[in-house]
Amino acid sequence: MITPRTLKGFRDFLPEMMLPRENLIEAAMKVYRSYGFSPIDTPSLEYLEILQGKGSDETDKQLYKFEDHGGRQVGLRFDLTVPLARYTAQHVAELPMPFKRYHFGKVWRGENTQAGRYREFTQCDFDTIGTKSIVADIETTLIINDLMERIDLKTKKPFTRFKIRINNRKVLSGLLDKHGIADKTTPILRALDKIGKIGNEAVFKEMIGTASITEQQAAEVLKLTELQGSNESVLESLRRMLDGNVLGEKGVTELSELFQSVSVFGISPDRIVIDVSIARGLDYYTGTIYETFLDDLPSIGSVCSGGRYDNLAGLYTKQELPGVGASLGLDRLLSAMEELGMIEKVSTPIEVFLPYFVETRLADYLKFAAELRNKGIGVELYPEAKKLGQQLKYADKRGYHFAVIIGEDEFQQQKCQVKDLRTGKSVECLQKECINFILLQ
Amino acid sequence: MITPRTLKGFRDFLPEMMLPRENLIEAAMKVYRSYGFSPIDTPSLEYLEILQGKGSDETDKQLYKFEDHGGRQVGLRFDLTVPLARYTAQHVAELPMPFKRYHFGKVWRGENTQAGRYREFTQCDFDTIGTKSIVADIETTLIINDLMERIDLKTKKPFTRFKIRINNRKVLSGLLDKHGIADKTTPILRALDKIGKIGNEAVFKEMIGTASITEQQAAEVLKLTELQGSNESVLESLRRMLDGNVLGEKGVTELSELFQSVSVFGISPDRIVIDVSIARGLDYYTGTIYETFLDDLPSIGSVCSGGRYDNLAGLYTKQELPGVGASLGLDRLLSAMEELGMIEKVSTPIEVFLPYFVETRLADYLKFAAELRNKGIGVELYPEAKKLGQQLKYADKRGYHFAVIIGEDEFQQQKCQVKDLRTGKSVECLQKECINFILLQ
């Protein structure tokens, strides 16, 4: 006999965790679609050459790679961005531009398994490719906001508050430029990205160490990144610090336009925070940067992040493809929701359970269930004519809200008992009326 | 520069093919849920030992397998049934029984690429585990029927007709038993499974050859499998041929009960065909067997198939787990729908396009779009203030139904032009009324 088990870093999803996952994915899909984004899909396996093209040493090390039956060097995708770049370059002639796509899919990274880190996880990306217009940056912000609000609606206990933190890569680049350390951008970004984890002092030391900049320069960088807030005065301070640097000023102007535009739409201004400390490590962002934090659990990190880039697919095509997008951190958000008690532990997607206990009445039970389904009410019929108590125990375990109980007497009178399994209360009504009763709850 | 390309046997999905895919998956999910099935998920990668446990030599050869970073022998799952067996055995203590689960997921097989065969494809399985009750077999039939009907509703041109072919493995087993050739079941099943492809005569020869049975025995088997129809008389003929064989008679009784039960529910009897020729190659089925064919394109093969098994997870647990289920052949059904002209080639999931051409009015366009979305109407705002004609061309290419055109005059009068991009006709109305106009179409 073989011991049933999963690989380290991989996991099974039981129904009670899979249902909220599906709800989140549905919410994201609805929001992305409502802005005109369309779905795409790409293979899980790609030529290794494609995957390693832009990756850092770190992603290369984490790649699941092997030789396939045809002797090709292949790998499992480690994100959805590299496949998007390859896809866009390959199909550019067939794609309408701007190309607005969303992509939900699994990605794999053979990294060290730490708390909450898995070797297989799902990404939910959306991107607008082929336009430099700030309208796409504005929409990206609106989408993140809509998404977080819609997730609220799907749960019993909503997120009370969340913040979308915005930055513009040009601001920092401008500052580094001004101090003559633009060539140190990558190590400085990598250091800054750790502020939340290791604190200012450690980042200060790392910048001096790995980026080889002076203490004074490191202090200037840190001073800049300490600026944050939900009003125009932050922008003024940034302008003063940049002191006429053209690139930096451009960044501030873009940030200002974005901040003002989203503020005119019902996005409460204190939900949008200008925060120059968010750097997102990856050095391919060139404009707006987004991160999203839950006020009640900021420590879990950003649950929806992204940014603007100048050129998505430079490795695969000469055509310049600018774009902007973000990615919902599905697994992280679900962990947060679980920790915040927002997830009901039920293992059924529907509310009504129909016990089958008068053995000779199978056809009648089946007919009754079919009628409910025809009217849009999902219902599970128990498959065996066991004792009612046993069946109700099962219904309770799965988290059903109602049991519609029909015994021989009820069949003869065309009645039923609607039992609310949460309160234990029962109501007798005509079978044809039970739907209204259930819908009213 | 790296040439952007996909691996042989793998493919990208453009939006116009991905949208019908998502619609099909949504339809299947809704139907499965309406009977109380819950989603699960399992890792794409499993221990090789788990995957090879039950596989045939053929599946073993097709496995994508390699050694991971930790020196483990691993493989990509080739179906969702082996993972289901492993999962159920592993979590049996946590799972309510009967356990009704659906699972949508990708699977990988390194097989020879022929027309319509891919090395990565999606399966949409549903199973009821832990009960021997025929109620689960009946529901499986109802679900297949609901699924095919709901897919109809989602498309402009519906399937005119489809047939669910049912059989019971015990009938054939009974006949083989009666003729003393029960030990030849596997090669006989494999031969029978090819009837549709290679015809009766070739199957006859294969049975004599690989199964080493006599010509008379092969003729008897073929005679049995030629019986089919949508009425009780088929069952009578079967009973006569089985001539008192207990196992065979049991199969006929189960088939009869299933046939009668589904016929009482609006499933038109001529949609259910008793067909002893369907064998489904796999020798782990032990009771009811299902296949589903489109009347307009039977040659594409079964689009939804499954059956009943006595023991799902015998390799991983001593607990006997009987069950019944089926799998929607998503890719095959989509190919069929494409061939039948049922798929509209549009690359947008929504209907309304909003050109942005008065540059100074960005905030007003954004506000108008937000209002439509708040009322449940998805709308794409073009991100650049280009010429109207260019924007409408883009809208047309993506397959938008309406463009809501608002120029400076319209803004001042709070009006808009609703242009039907299919007919080319325009109507002027108040901005606040345009939603009604769109919903009425």
Looking at residue B265, what is its pLDDT?
74
Give the C-alpha separation, B26 to B374, whole Å. 23
What's the mean pLDDT when you consider all of chain B? Answer: 92
Give the C-alpha separation, A193 to A195, whole Å. 6
Q: Is-contact A358 A385, C-beta < 8 A?
A: yes
Q: What are phi and psi of A272, to 5 degrees?
A: -105, 120
Choice between B122 and B343, residue whose per-residue pLDDT is larger:
B122
- Name the pLDDT band for B159 (thresholds 50, 70, 90): low
Beta strands in B272-378 (DSSP E): 272-275, 285-294, 304-309, 323-328, 352-354
Closest chain A CA to residue B392: A96
Cross-chain residue pair B356–A100, CB shorter than 8 Å? no
Res B16 pLDDT > 70: yes
Mean pLDDT by 10 residues, chain A (441 residues): 95 96 95 98 97 76 93 96 96 96 96 79 97 97 93 61 93 91 88 84 92 92 88 92 94 95 82 87 84 92 94 93 96 90 90 97 95 95 97 96 97 96 94 88 71
Cross-chain residue pair B353–A36, CB shorter than 8 Å? yes
The residues in A 104-123 lying below 8 A from B, measured between CB atoms, are 106, 108, 110, 120
Q: Which residue has the tokens 């069929």?
A: B336
Give the C-alpha separation, B331 to A381, whole Å. 30
Res B83 pLDDT > 70: yes
Q: Is-contact B136 B144, C-beta < 8 A?
A: no
Cross-chain residue pair A39–B87, CB shorter than 8 Å? no
- Distance, first Cα to last Cα, chain A: 49
Q: Which residue of B38, B74, B363 is in closest CB contact with A7? A: B74
Q: Is A260 on the interface with B (CB under 8 A)?
A: no
Looking at residue B232, what is its pLDDT?
86
Res B266 pLDDT > 80: no
Q: What is the pLDDT of residues B402-441, one digit of tens each?
A: 999 999 999 999 999 999 999 999 999 999 999 888 888 7
Cross-chain residue pair B347–A128, CB shorter than 8 Å? no
Q: Is B93 on the interface with A (CB under 8 A)?
A: no
Looking at residue A434, what is its pLDDT?
92
Give the C-alpha separation, B134 to B408, whole Å. 67
Q: What is the pLDDT of residues B196-223, one digit of tens each?
A: 788 899 999 999 998 889 999 999 999 8
ipTM of predicted assembly, 2 dp: 0.93
Q: Name the 3-class secondary structure at A196.
A: helix
| B339-358 average pLDDT score | 92
Cross-chain residue pair A12–B87, CB shorter than 8 Å? yes
Looking at residue B101, what is its pLDDT?
98
Task: Indicate the Cα dihedral angle B273, B276, B279, B280, nearest 10°.
Answer: 0
Please indicate whether the domains covering B15-339 and B352-440 agree at the CATH topology level.
no
Question: For residue A14, how many other CB atoms are within 10 A of its CB?
Answer: 19
Give the C-alpha separation, B371 to A123, whole Å. 29
Distances (CA, A) of A110 to A45, A59, A67, A178, B135: 15, 9, 17, 40, 44
Show me where the domains of chain A are located.
Answer: 15-339, 352-440
In chain B, the percentage of residues whose pLDDT exceeds 90 is 75
Res B367 pLDDT > 70: yes
- Name the pLDDT band for B189 (thresholds 50, 70, 90): confident
* CB-CB neighbors (< 8 A) of A69 in chain B: 110
Which residue(s) pair with B293 in the sheet?
Answer: B163
| B362-388 average pLDDT score | 95
Q: Is B9 exposed, middle or buried (0-12, 13-18, 19+ CB in 10 A)?
A: buried
What is the per-residue DSSP string for B300-328?
G--SEEEEEES-S-TTT-SS---EEEEEE
Looking at residue A178, what is its pLDDT?
92
Q: Which residue of A4, A90, A94 is in closest CB contact with B89? A: A4
The answer as to CATH 3.40.50.800 being correct for domain B352-440 is: yes
Q: Which residue of B19, B41, B69 is in closest CB contact with A110? A: B69
Side-chain half-sphere CA neighbours of A377 within 13 A: 26
Looking at residue A158, what is its pLDDT?
57
CATH code: domain B15-339 is 3.30.930.10
Looking at residue A327, what is its pLDDT?
96
Angle (nearest 5°) at CA A27 between A287 and A340: 90
Cross-chain residue pair B5–A367, CB shorter than 8 Å? no
Q: What are phi and psi of B323, to 5 degrees?
A: -175, 175
Cross-chain residue pair B373–A146, CB shorter than 8 Å? yes
The residues in A 272-291 lying below 8 A from B, measured between CB atoms, are none
pTM of the model as a whole: 0.94
- Which run of H or E residues covers position B52? helix B48-52
Helices (H) and strands (E) in chain A, counts: 16, 17
- Which run of H or E residues covers position A58? helix A57-62
Q: Is A40 on the interface with B (CB under 8 A)?
A: yes
Q: What is the pLDDT of residues B36-82, one digit of tens each?
A: 999 999 999 999 999 997 666 777 889 999 999 899 999 999 999 99
Alpha helices in A264-387 (DSSP H): 330-339, 362-374
Q: Which residue has the tokens 């899919």?
A: A105
Looking at residue B281, what is its pLDDT?
63
Q: What is the pLDDT of residues B23-36, one digit of tens each?
A: 999 999 999 999 99
Q: Is-contact A195 A222, C-beta < 8 A?
A: no
Q: Is B422 on the interface with A (CB under 8 A)?
A: no
Q: Is A393 on the interface with B (CB under 8 A)?
A: no
| B217-237 average pLDDT score | 90
Closest CA to A174 of A245, A104, A122, A120: A245
Closest CA to B311 of B335, B285, B273: B285
Closest chain A CA to residue B317: A1
Q: Name the 3-class secondary structure at A162.
A: strand
Looking at residue B171, what is its pLDDT?
93
Closest chain A CA to residue B150: A374
Task: Name the packing angle between helices A246-263 and B362-374 (round to 10°).
Answer: 40
Alpha helices in A105-245 (DSSP H): 134-154, 169-178, 185-192, 195-210, 215-225, 232-242
Distances (CA, A) of A195 to A105, A202, A308: 30, 8, 22
* CB-CB neighbors (< 8 A) of A22 in chain B: 29, 39
* CB-CB neighbors (< 8 A) of A18 in chain B: 38-41
Beta strands in B195-314 (DSSP E): 228-229, 272-275, 285-294, 304-309
Looking at residue A61, what is its pLDDT?
86
Alpha helices in B100-160 (DSSP H): 134-154
DSSP state of A4: P
